[in-house]
Structure formats: structure tokens, C-alpha cells
Amino acid sequence: DVKVTQSSRYLVKRTGEKVFLECVQDMDHENMFWYRQDPGLGLRLIYFSYDVKMKEKGDIPEGYSVSREKKERFSLILESASTNQTSMYLCASSRTSAEIYNEQFFGPGTRLTVL
Amino acid sequence: GQNIDQPTEMTATEGAIVQINCTYQTSGFNGLFWYQQHAGEAPTFLSYNVLDGLEEKGRFSSFLSRSKGYSYLLLKELQMKDSASYLCAVADSNYQLIWGAGTKLIIKP
């Protein structure tokens, strides 16, 4: 059974703190993604990675960084958390193939509150 | 710019049929996805369309018209457990997914 896990379901941090969100997938997928989801908005891509040590900016990378040292793990880092980063963070993974179809599998999400 | 439009909220009755529409304008097209997301949970894959026409999968069907930039998700024999948000997403020319804001479907007994 495919599985994407995230380190925390709920997290409360203070403004200015450094925050680490961890994501692990056990499907040997090449691609991993970090999104944030806010009410009334679609999922917005923060960063993605197509391979180990490789990262690409998504639509809203400002205030975030990522790390992918191992294929199964993709970390999202908030260098100095701010209140406007209060959100639901979703990690996803997908495989790479010659086919067009690339279903993404999602983790359960981390609801981050920054006070 | 790129955008995906879908209704914010819909209400339907248990046992009935509901159609959730999605229109899109994207730079390139490499398929359209529908995902289901229950409150507080992760999105889960429902369907994928890359060619025009109707794809049926049990109680759920998805339709695509590429010339019109239009898709719909059809849910038959609605059950209370179908209460969820339904997300439409389009893979653009770079195979990146562009997401709609989601349609919250409320099922009433």
C-alpha cells in the first residue's frame, strides 16, 4: 500500500522560529512536492524535486527552502516563521515515467499555526 | 495567466446525481485530474482524462472536452460519505499541476 507520511499533523510555532516539516514516502518515487492549502485557494506549489539533491521553485517559494538528501525524504524549512505562513502543508510524491499520467500521492498534511 | 474555475459549493440529496464542472485555461495541456478530499484529510485520486470523452469508474464518471477547456465529474447514487471537496487539476505543458480551489459538496439526507 502506497504511503506518504508527514512528521506532524499539528504544529504551533512562534514568529521568527525556524520550522522543519518532514515528509517520507515508501514508493521509491522520483518526484516529491510541497504544497500549501488555504481556504478559497487551490493547492499552491512551494517547491518540488525530481531527484536527490535537486530542487525547483514552485509558485510561492518565498520564505521557504527545501532539502532532499535521500530519495525517500523531502524536507520543507521555514527559516523564520511568520504569521502569514499559518496554513495546511501537504507533501506529495509521484513517479517519473515515459507516460503522461503522473498521479500524485499525498501525505495527511501538517496544519501549522504561527503565533 | 493560468486558471482553473469550479463552483465553490454545491448541495445534493442522498441517492441523487450531481455534476461538478471545471473550466480551465492553461499553458499547454497534459491531462486533467479529479481528486477527492474529505475535511482534514489528504486529497485522494479519483480520475484522469487526457482524451475527449467520458471515463466511467463505478458511481463516478469524468468527462473532458479539450476544445472547450471543460470537464465535469458526475457522481451517481450519492451517499453521505461522498460529502467532501472535489479538486480539479490540470497538468500544463511542463507537467506541473495547476489546481482549482475545490468544490465543497454537501449531501443531505
Provide, as residue numbers in chain B, all residues whose Cβ is less than 8 Å from the Cβ of A100: 30-31, 50, 91, 95
Give me chain A's average pLDDT, please. Answer: 92
Give pLDDT, residue A99.
Answer: 54
Per-residue pLDDT for A100 more than 60? no
CB A5 within 8 A of CB A109: no
- Amino acid letter for position B96: Q
Residue, of A102 and A109, whose pLDDT is higher: A109
Interface test with B, best of A43, A56, A93, A104 (most B CBs within 10 A): A43
From residue A66, give the alpha-carbon distance in Å to each of A51, A102, B36.
Answer: 13, 22, 27
Q: A4: helix, coil or strand?
A: strand
Cα A38 to Cα A56: distance, rounded to the nearest angstrom: 22
Spans of chain B below 70 pLDDT? none
Give pLDDT, residue B27.
Answer: 86
**What is the number of other CB atoms lying within 10 angstroms of the CB of residue A95?**
15
Give pLDDT, residue B1.
Answer: 72
Query: Exposure string (b/e) for B56-69, b if CB count within 10 Å is 16 or more?
Result: eeeebbbbbeeeeb
Provide, as residue numbers in chain B, all residues whose Cβ is less than 8 Å from the Cβ of A107: 42
Cα B61 to Cα B54: distance, rounded to the nearest angstrom: 7
Cα B31 to Cα B51: distance, rounded to the nearest angstrom: 8
Inform me whether the C-beta atom of residue B41 falls under 8 Å from chain A C-beta atoms: yes
Per-residue pLDDT for A103 more than 60? yes
User: Partners of B47 in the beta sheet?
Assistant: B34
Per-residue pLDDT for A96 more than 80? no
Provide, as residue numbers in chain A, all residues whose Cβ is less than 8 Å from the Cβ of B99: 42-44
Residue window 13-52, chain A: list those with CB within 8 Å of chain B: 40-45, 48
Give pLDDT, residue B52.
Answer: 97
pLDDT tens by residue, A12-45: 999 999 999 999 999 999 999 999 999 888 899 9
Three cell numbers written together for A76: 520543507
Of B40, B33, B87, the closest CA to residue A109 belongs to: B40
Inter-chain contact B4–A42, Cβ cutoff 8 Å?
yes
